[in-house]
Every structure is written in structure tokens, then in C-alpha cells.
Amino acid sequence: MTFDWSVIWDNTDRFAAGAGVTVLLAVTTMALAIPFGLLLAFMRLSRFRLLRGSAAAFVEFFRATPLILQIYWVYYVLPVFSDILLSPMTTALVGLVCNVSSFNSETFRAGLLSIRQGQWNAGLALGMSPAQVMSRIVLPQAVMRVLPSLASTWVSLFKDTSLVSVIAVADLSYVSLQLRAQTYRILEVLSAMAAIYWLMGYPQAKFVDWLHRRYKVIE
């Protein structure tokens, strides 16, 4: 077997462009999924049954079905039942944001419920409104407690972005598979793809490990 690594060096611009799309997808998704997930968490903790039920149905659907199916559904099925036709990139973002938001909502909900009732009572006794107690006392503590879990979700999201290649979003996975089909250099291209994902993902994983250690110290 002979190796021809020139296919990698001659296409570094394509790999770089694909990696850039992967990073853009991950960053944009998480930037939207954090506030949306927090909103879903508040809805699930609401005293209004309709809000609780709607949020629960949304969260359980996106947590219980595969992400790739959700992407396919938005891209192929949604236009059949409506006049909504989204571009591949928009479809990818919709699918990723809905999926990650559902997991973030449960993370935030667990964090909010972990704050002892005594802190609520103390804030109310000082004359603060429920909204002030939530924003000034409960939420800051809850966010710090769930930070390692959110970081772990980020690492998983970074890898899951590769699934959007099924609808021709030009991320790193799609670019690599296209190059493989064009050059027939399967080993070289897939090895380079794996190396790039590892170089981008390993520092993130180590940062998550640090957050977990830091979290234990805080506890």
C-alpha cells in the first residue's frame, strides 16, 4: 500500500474552510441553546400547567429522538406540511439548537432545583421580589453549578455537528467525504479528518476536565 499525503497539503484551504464551518455551527448553536434552554427550564418550573406541559413535550421529544432524524425531518418533511423551506445551514442550526436546548433545559432545571429553599425564603424576607431572588441569588449560583455539565454538552455538540453533512452543509465532515470521493485517497483523507477533529476537540475536553475539578473544589 502506498500513501500520498500530498492530497492533504494541496487541499488545506478546503479543510480549513470546513473546520471554520464546524466551529461556526458549534458556537452559534450554543449561543442560542443556552438562553433557549434556560427559558425551557423556567417553563418547566412554571406553576402554569400549559407552560409546563408544552415545555416538557418539546424537551422529551428532542431528547428521545436521534439528532440525525431531527435534521432530516426539518429539511425534508417540514416543507411537505408547510411552505417553510430552509437552507441547509439554517436547517442545521434549527436542528442543533432544538436538540441542545432540550438537554440544556434539564441541566438548568437541575441547577435551579439544587438551590435550597432557605435561600428563597431569606431573599423574600429581605423584601426582594421573586424575580429579584431568582436573578440575584438563585440563578448565579445555579449557573456556576451547571457550568461543567454545559461544557460537557459543548464537547458533544462539537462532535455532533458532523451529522449536518447529510444535508450537504460544508462542514469538516462533508468536505472530507467529498474529497475522499474525488481523490479515492480514503486512508489519507479520513486520517486527516480525524486528526483535525482531535486537535480541535482535545483542548476542549481537557478544559472540561479542569472545570469538573474546579467544580469539586467549589463544592
| Domain contains 107 | yes
Q: Do the domain assignments include residue 4?
A: no
Q: What is the mean pLDDT of residues 37-56?
A: 92
Q: What is the pLDDT of residues 147-181, one digit of tens each?
A: 888 888 998 899 899 999 999 898 999 999 999 98
Q: Are 52 and 122 in contact (CB under 8 A)?
A: no
Q: Are 212 and 148 in contact (CB under 8 A)?
A: yes
Kindly tell me the sign of the dihedral angle through the C-alpha atoms of 177, 179, 185, 188. Answer: negative
Please name the residue that has the C-alpha cell 481523490. Answer: 183
Q: What does the alpha-carbon distance between residue 108 and residue 115 come to, in Å, rounded to a whole number?
A: 11
205 is a domain residue: yes
Q: Are 100 and 35 in contact (CB under 8 A)?
A: no
Mean pLDDT, residues 81-99: 89
Structural domain harbouring 211: 10-218
Whether pTM > 0.85 for this model: the answer is: yes
Q: Please count the structural domains in the chain.
A: 1
Provide the pLDDT for residue 132: 83
* Amino acid 216: pLDDT: 60
CA distance 63 to 75: 19
pLDDT of residue 219: 44
- Whether 60 has a pLDDT exceeding 90, the answer reads yes
pLDDT of residue 1: 62
Range picked from 4-13, 35-44, 202-211 for highest mean pLDDT: 35-44
Q: Which residue has the higher pLDDT, 134 or 103?
A: 103
Residue 112 domain flag: yes
- Chain mean pLDDT for the chain: 88
Instruction: Assess if residue 36 is contained within a domain.
Output: yes
Q: Which three cell numbers stand for residue 140?
A: 448565579
Q: What is the CATH number of the domain that holds 200?
A: 1.10.3720.10
Q: How far apart are CA 192 and CA 175, in angstroms?
A: 11
